[in-house]
Chain A
């Protein structure tokens, strides 16, 4: 991973709020991260921690209302994506940043054949003719490992299995050679064997095409296998960020630690009893003024209840948002 390289995508202080009946949901609070060229960034966190909302905020894909991106900057290609005009944003979507969504069953339009759906961005962003686009679409299908691509272009989504649909989605996202690919839990709906196929494919493609990838998942195993760097989200915030190996070796945030412990393994020793994280995820009703994890935390202190910890650098390109320093076993002195 090229360390100090200029990031392709730089997100600073992103804040997204949903207006709902009788209040607001502060789904993303002051989230900052960056993505280096050619890097595969894993984003993990439990359901509802704001992973999807963060990524969709970047490209304005959230329905508004109810969503409202309140602040922050998203620097891409020297421009702030939150401020650019609609046309530029459209060019970026699909053209420079590809998106793969979680549910392959519903993410494709059922009434158009997949060929048309792959060709659409090609014609729109690359100005290809129908013929050129068709040739390219076939290449793309072959690229994502769908045999008999010529024929299958004419098929409709329902004629594909879940795994193949997800490949089609990936093909669409890759169509215009994007600089960044955002994959929002692309394998969650799939079986392990199919997931393994897709992961393999992604790794290969990323190496081959050299793009930067953001990979959202809540499966730590997936992250361990493919990510260069991992961001852990909890309660709409990033609570920890580190290179993959570093994170698994040396988890700093109590949430990350707990998470790693709750997961049973297929190999290695079998635990007699599973570790659990007591309690419930936080309510995102207001802008946080305290640590969101404090109620479930085993090292919580008074301070956590009225101050929201910053992300403190712990070296090795690793930071964690906790007042407790896991390395010293004592409260951080800040």
Chain B
């Protein structure tokens, strides 16, 4: 602990620790750039369509396979649909898949991890379950899941939402295990920390204990898993598209757009470039954000 920190904040008003995290985060140039870019992408993708209001499904056959023009800054595809609009629509799906799949994986991972770490009795069984999932060959499982549930889900939620739910769930339930392991490890260590013992000596009930003492303190590994999870989910979705098991062909996602465009790589290089860049840069920015967050959430680095 640098003594400086004591006095520097002597008169500061109650200061949420997230401000400190933010202060540290700000010093990581890559992370800040990553965050800016990520926000930019999210805005572009969600707010963009309000400004660039061409319908991504509108077909203008006369204008097909065009390069960038003022009318179509990103060019058009083989049906003359505007690539910029499709990139935005695709981004919405890809980013939502990334975020929700990651959210699901984190939820499951944290739940299992915390329960296993906290309650000794179910630790064994939950960790066996985790091992089991780790030992399951995931890609085949993913493929089988998609095969199994694609129809029922599209039937009940419509093809897009159905597949969305399916892919999110598929990615989510096949990627929670590392988080669970890390969280469990942390919870086990936390349980030995004196403040948990202190809470126990006060008589804090298990539920409160988890919410108040355990969860907030495993936030940092969770946040880091989160950023990596977004990236992996986006990539997994695109791989599924490649194998023909992702979203239907008429439903743009970045992975799908990239895959569709690889055939045209020589003729219309811009068509691979946009989705390729979007995926890579998003993943990159998210990774940098993760790096920055890891540093910012680490009290040792934050200099507490």
Contact = CB atoms under 8 A, between A and B. Distances in A.
A281 B24 contact: no
A283 B24 contact: no
B4 interface: yes
A48 B3 contact: yes
B251 to A, nearest CB: 46
Nearest to B5: A283
A209 B24 CA distance: 50
A49 to B, nearest CB: 11
A25 B303 contact: no
Contacts of B303: 20-21
B3 A21 contact: no
B27 A21 contact: yes
Interface in A253-285: 280-285
B4 A285 contact: yes
A23 interface: yes
B297 to A, nearest CB: 15
A280 B4 contact: no
B1 to A, nearest CB: 9
B4 A25 contact: yes
Interface string A4-25: 0000000000000000110101
Contacts of B6: 280, 283
Contacts of B27: 21
Tell me the interface secondary structure of chain B in the complex.
Answer: helix
A207 B150 CA distance: 83
Contacts of B2: 20, 25
Nearest to B23: A21
Interface in B73-100: none
Interface string B6-35: 110000000000000001100100000000
A21 B4 contact: no
A284 B2 CA distance: 9
A21 B24 contact: yes
Contacts of A21: 23-24, 27, 303
Give the interface centre of B4, B23, B24, B27 by most chain A CB atoms within 10 Å: B4
B3 A282 contact: yes
A178 B188 CA distance: 45
Contacts of A280: 3, 6-7
A188 to B, nearest CB: 17
B29 to A, nearest CB: 13
A23 B24 CA distance: 14
Contacts of A20: 2, 4, 303
A189 B54 CA distance: 70
Contacts of A282: 3
Contacts of A25: 2, 4
Nearest to B24: A21
Given A20-B303, A21-B303, A284 B3 contact: yes
B4 A23 contact: yes
A281 B4 CA distance: 10
Give the interface centre of A21, A280, A282 by most chain B CB atoms within 10 Å: A21
A20 B23 CA distance: 13
Contacts of A281: 3
Contacts of B3: 48, 280-284
A282 B4 CA distance: 8
Contacts of B23: 21
A282 B2 CA distance: 11
Interface string B284-303: 00000000000000000001
A276 to B, nearest CB: 18
Contacts of A285: 4
Nearest to B6: A280
Contacts of A283: 3-4, 6-7
Nearest to B301: A21
Contacts of A284: 3-4
Nearest to A21: B27
Contacts of A23: 4
Nearest to A27: B2
B24 to A, nearest CB: 7
A48 B4 CA distance: 11
A285 B2 CA distance: 10
Contacts of B4: 20, 23, 25, 283-285
Nearest to B3: A283
Nearest to B27: A21
A25 B6 CA distance: 14
B17 to A, nearest CB: 16
B79 to A, nearest CB: 53
Nearest to B4: A283
A285 B6 CA distance: 12
A48 B3 CA distance: 9
B126 to A, nearest CB: 30
A245 to B, nearest CB: 33
Contacts of A48: 3
A21 B20 CA distance: 12
Interface string B113-152: 0000000000000000000000000000000000000000
Interface in A1-53: 20-21, 23, 25, 48
A48 B1 CA distance: 9
A65 to B, nearest CB: 13
A283 B7 CA distance: 8
Nearest to A281: B3
B16 to A, nearest CB: 18
Give the interface centre of B2, B23, B27 by most chain A CB atoms within 10 Å: B2
4 pairs of A and B residues whose beta carbons are closest in the complex:
A283-B4, A283-B3, A283-B7, A285-B4
6 contacts: A23-B4, A25-B4, A283-B3, A283-B4, A283-B7, A284-B3
Given A20-B4, A48-B3, 8 more contacts: A21-B27, A25-B2, A25-B4, A280-B3, A282-B3, A283-B3, A283-B6, A284-B3
